[in-house]
Structure 1
Amino acid sequence: MASESVVKVDMELLTASVTSLLDTLPVDPSNSYTACIYRVSEKPRKANEAAYTPRLVSIGPLHRDKSQLHGMESYKMRCLQNFYVRFGIELKELLGFVAREESSVRGCYEDTISLSKEKLSEMILLDGVFIVEIFLKNHFFQFRERSDTIFENRWIWNDLLHDLMLLENQLPMNVAKGLLRFVDPSFMDELTFYDLAHEFFKNVGNTEKLPLTEHCCKARHFVEFLLFLHQPRHWRDQPLSPTTKFEYTHSATELKQAGVEFCCGNGSMLFDVRFRNGELKIPSLLVNDSTETFFRNIIAFEQCSYHSRDITSYVIFMDGLINTREDVVLLVNCGAIRNELGEDEAVADLFNNLHKEIMTDVSDFYFAELCVDVNEYSRDFFHELKARCFKWGRVLRHDYFSNPWAVISVIAAGLLLGLKIIQAVCSIIQVKH
């Protein structure tokens, strides 16, 4: 019988090793429950890293070390100086405010923030005042300096708009909202911080047409603010039963062939999509340079947080309708899409790529019941027959009637065939007689 070897464990060494591991944990793990600002996961980032990366300015601690963004730090300092001088605010009052906010701000980030209390407080002040000043200058033209390139150059403005929509480039809204309270209320003429934010993001999604609600005022940062603005105002239908066979809708052109009529809905909410008596009503959506950043970062936030996947559902629904530029043309013509990107192909690519790397769950899909109704309608015998006739008609137009010479050739061939048939009939009659 082989002898059993006994391996002794150095308990002191083991204890020291485990203790050192525990020492790497954050001092206060509670931020895992209060965190609302996350890192975007690797899969969606690979699909389009630029949609999650700041171009002009760093807000918050996650991108502050990027050298290409350091050029805006002097602009932030000028904003701070202009802010407290213009409104007669003591700098010490502002410093006291951000020092009191430091701990709660630190807890809003999923990442462990290594900055000292002093450095983090400094960052909070500069970034917070920068946001307030941008919002004030956007509304009150008299605050703008003559050489302020942010408001003079449309490309720089678009970069700033992009940066303030990024999930990783956020500062808790309570900071900027608190800093705005230092401004004399009589000067603001009853304008709130949320009014200024709403005005700043007016060209993003359907923001301009959507009213501020009480729910919007509970947002913790701008990504959540845009999410709350665009979320449906009513609960979705009950989830599909497990026995229901589900599939996403066919493309817009295929549905059109099957007899579905498309028109622009009257509602301003993205989720006011209605299907009745073969008519699919879709609210108009503005598609411009900010659309991809808007959708991608809200989807990333929905994937990270406890929120329902409403915007994710909308993107999946639109991706089902849009496969090619022909689908985009159909939706543009009916008013469901306002295309400011230029090329229809660009809109198709945008929605087709947005759907990649998204975790989907039919039980949490807002438009599940609507998709079932649309697909059942399109599979009806007469609608399917109409679709086939429509498809054959398209083939004829494409292959045989694409230009005048092709039309002439088909007519000539038809006449020749007709003459041949007449000649054959005449020959048969002569033989019989």
Structure 2
Amino acid sequence: MDARKHEHEVYDVSIDMEKLADSLRGELESLHPLAREYSIYRVPEATRCSHPSHFTPRMVSIGPFHHGKEELKAMEEHKKRYLKCFLQRTKENLLEINFPKAKHFVDLLILCLQPSQSPADSALNDRNIPSVKELHQAGVKFEPGSSKNLLDIKFNEGILEIPFLTVYDSTEHLYRNLLAFESMHYYTRHFNDYIVMMNYLVSTPKDAELLVQNKIFGLGDVEAVRTVFDNLNKGCAIDYYDFQYSGVVADLQAYCKLPWHKWKATLMQNYFSTPWASISVIAAVILLVLTFIQTVCSLIAL
């Protein structure tokens, strides 16, 4: 009994609640307030660790996170030259420029991540988004988008418009940073939805090849194009109840369900794909008509 009582006394530690409250109050008062305007921030560790090279500058640093690194010092003198040219061109006073804030730069990025005509978001009822090959077989035509906004994918009267895109070695790095930037602003998912949509459309190298043929993708390795969207899509999530391209997908699905469109497409792709194929079909039809006429004339003569 005495041993148990002694053990209880060892772990019975008194807590000075008033002292604890004062300490916690001091910590709370020392916290930095949340920025009311946009600022430069670091990519979350979970995202950064998956592809660290994609979020680490290789030539020039913008902001404080990578400032002072040896491999980036070569550009520091050039940054000062650019600053000098900027001040001369804008007639700005160096002391009046608020360098830590990046509101205008962030506003520009957000604007670029929004379609020129933001469609009303709606639920994606049929989640089977067709690929480019499936659309081609259903008679859908593909054209480079008239808009310079990368996100403006449109479908109208059997024509799917996709803004022109060339995939470079740095494309995946750039897009991954844009996705990370967008994830910090929870009110927008425009670029996320674009990657998801393109990943469905370009699900095989054949899909990419068809878009190259229709001058929507710049010439390049079609497998690389497919790989870029597949890699980026792994960090995206589709919200079926609030998807930017739900209207486009619904129209594409409705178009593909009409048998006449597929029959017409099969006829054109199999029998009128080249001038020689067209001539052969026409000649065969003429021969068939002449044979039919000859047969009718023979029956009448009898």
TM-score using structure 2 length: 0.70
Partner of 2:24: 18
Q: How far does residue 357 in structure 1 lie from its aligned partner after superposition? A: 1.7
CA RMSD of aligned residues (A): 3.7
1:63 to 60, 66, 80: 66
Q: How far does residue 301 in structure 1 lie from its aligned partner after superposition? A: 1.9
| Residue aligned with 2:180, SS | helix
Is the aligned partner of 1:354 residue 2:250? no
Q: How far does residue 69 in structure 1 lie from its aligned partner after superposition? A: 1.6
Unaligned 5+ segments in structure 2 are 271-302
Partner of 1:231: 114
Q: How far does residue 331 in structure 1 lie from its aligned partner after superposition? A: 0.5
C-alpha separation in 1, matches of 2:266 and 2:216: 25
Is the aligned partner of 1:299 residue 2:182? no
C-alpha separation in 2, matches of 1:224 and 1:59: 16
| Residue aligned with 1:263, SS | strand
Q: How far does residue 320 in structure 1 lie from its aligned partner after superposition? A: 0.9
CA contact (8 A) 2:125 2:240 kept: no
Q: What are the Cα deviations for residues 265-318 of structure 1, in whole angstroms up to 9, with x where unaligned?
A: 333333443323433222322333443233222222221115422222222111
Partner of 1:114: none
Describe the shift of the 1:59–1:8 C-alpha distance in structure 2 as closer, same or farther (beyond 3 A). Answer: same
CA contact (8 A) 2:150 2:163 kept: yes
Q: Which amino acid aligns with 1:345?
A: E
C-alpha separation in 2, matches of 1:361 and 1:294: 23
CA contact (8 A) 1:44 1:358 kept: no
Q: Which amino acid aligns with 1:225?
A: L
C-alpha separation in 2, matches of 1:73 and 1:80: 11
Q: What are the Cα deviations for residues 348-395 of structure 1, in whole angstroms up to 9, with x where unaligned?
A: 1111111112243234421111112212332445667899999xx9xx
1:256 to 124, 129, 136: 136
| Residue aligned with 2:117, SS | coil
C-alpha separation in 2, matches of 1:323 and 1:250: 9
| Residue aligned with 1:362, SS | coil
1:23-422 alignment, distance < 5 Å: 24-26=30-32, 29-31=33-35, 33-77=36-80, 94=94, 96-98=95-97, 101=98, 105=100, 108=101, 172=102, 220-221=104-105, 224-229=107-112, 231-240=114-123, 245-247=125-127, 249-339=129-219, 342-381=220-259
Partner of 2:291: none
Describe the shift of the 1:290–1:232 C-alpha distance in structure 2 as closer, same or farther (beyond 3 A). Answer: same
Unaligned 5+ segments in structure 1 are 109-171, 173-218, 394-433
| Residue aligned with 2:104, SS | coil
Partner of 2:287: none
Q: What are the Cα deviations for residues 100-139 of structure 1, in whole angstroms up to 9, with x where unaligned?
A: x26xx2xx4xxxxxxxxxxxxxxxxxxxxxxxxxxxxxxx
CA contact (8 A) 2:196 2:237 kept: no
| Residue aligned with 2:144, SS | strand
| Residue aligned with 2:218, SS | strand
CA contact (8 A) 2:151 2:191 kept: no
| Residue aligned with 2:148, SS | coil
CA contact (8 A) 1:284 1:336 kept: yes
| Residue aligned with 1:285, SS | coil
Equivalences, count = 261
Q: Which amino acid aligns with 1:261?
A: K
C-alpha separation in 2, matches of 1:77 and 1:265: 39
Describe the shift of the 1:12–1:60 C-alpha distance in structure 2 as closer, same or farther (beyond 3 A). Answer: same
Q: What are the Cα deviations for residues 387-417 of structure 1, in whole angstroms up to 9, with x where unaligned?
A: 9999xx9xxxxxxxxxxxxxxxxxxxxxxxx
Q: What are the Cα deviations for residues 66-90 of structure 1, in whole angstroms up to 9, with x where unaligned?
A: 3322333344456667888x88x99
C-alpha separation in 1, matches of 2:243 and 2:168: 25
